[in-house]
Amino acid sequence: MREFVRRSLWEMVPRDQRQTPAALRRRQLVTIGFVLVGAVVLGFTLRTDPGSQAFYLLTLVLAAVWTVGAFASGPLHLGRIARGEGLRRPVLSPILLGAILVGVFVVGALVIREIPFADPLVSQIRSVLRYTQETPIALLVVVTALNGIAEELFFRGAAYAAVTRHPVSVTSVAYTVATLATGNVMLGFAAVLLGVVVGLQRRASGGILAPILTHLTWSLSMLFLLPLIFLS
């Protein structure tokens, strides 16, 4: 387990992703510009009813904003992790790490459900989950997957490469702020832990593949598991 954590989250593999001052400045300006556009789209999204057609449409528009912004900012890298004496694309390890996160959140959800003073939080979670029951599961899966990919492309791709100091901390805070704007405290708490984990993966691997796979494993699993915990 120690070796797994070291390779997945801590050991930085060799990489050459140097940017010229001009390229870095361009990436920073593009990233800031798309953050502002994303904030506007998010503002419209928050004015719609959760579960409505407009809500899901704007959610997909926001995913498109993050995706276009990521690729417009400059080159993105998939990354590699150490394996023996060589390097390989991270596939299995980020999925396993995502499964571990799922286990942590499931245990946390079960504990929260049984704590009396957490009733307001549980009520908020249930209110959000009830909207998902009114939406076809295929649409929920598509929206969840596309948003997970888009968020990692932007926050661990463009934004991470645009930050010159403490990129893990900066992008984790930015991602948490964007998530807290939804008004869902539970999602905000999840964003803190998830943001730090995928940020460390980005630093270790030098790319976005590991963060994307971990994010997808976690978000798609919670999509199915949270209703079983809070609505059963």
User: How sure is the predictor about 22, in pLDDT bands with cuts at 50, 70 and 90?
Assistant: very high
Question: Quick one: which of 149, 158, 200, 194 has its CA closest to 175?
Answer: 194
Pick the more confident residue, 47 or 71: 71
Question: Looking at residue 185, what is its pLDDT?
Answer: 67
Question: Looking at residue 120, what is its pLDDT?
Answer: 81
Residue 178 has pLDDT above 70, yes or no: yes
Q: Are the C-beta atoms of residues 121 and 112 closer than 8 Å to each other?
A: yes
How far apart, in whole angstroms, are the C-alpha atoms of residue 98 and residue 85? 25
Per-residue model confidence as pLDDT tens digits over 157-173: 999 999 999 999 999 99
How far apart, in whole angstroms, are the C-alpha atoms of residue 179 and residue 182? 6
Question: Quick one: which of 188, 55, 217, 214 has its CA closest to 132?
Answer: 55
Per-residue model confidence as pLDDT tens digits over 98-109: 999 999 999 988
When pLDDT is averaged across residues 10-22 and rounded to a whole number, the result is 84
Pick the more confident residue, 141 or 231: 141
Backbone angle region of 96, left / alpha / beta, with phi > 0 → left and psi within -120 to 50 → alpha: alpha
Question: Looking at residue 34, what is its pLDDT?
Answer: 95
Q: Which two tokens stand for residue 170?
A: 């900066």
When pLDDT is averaged across residues 211-227 and rounded to a whole number, the result is 93
Q: Are the C-beta atoms of residues 17 and 219 closer than 8 Å to each other?
A: no
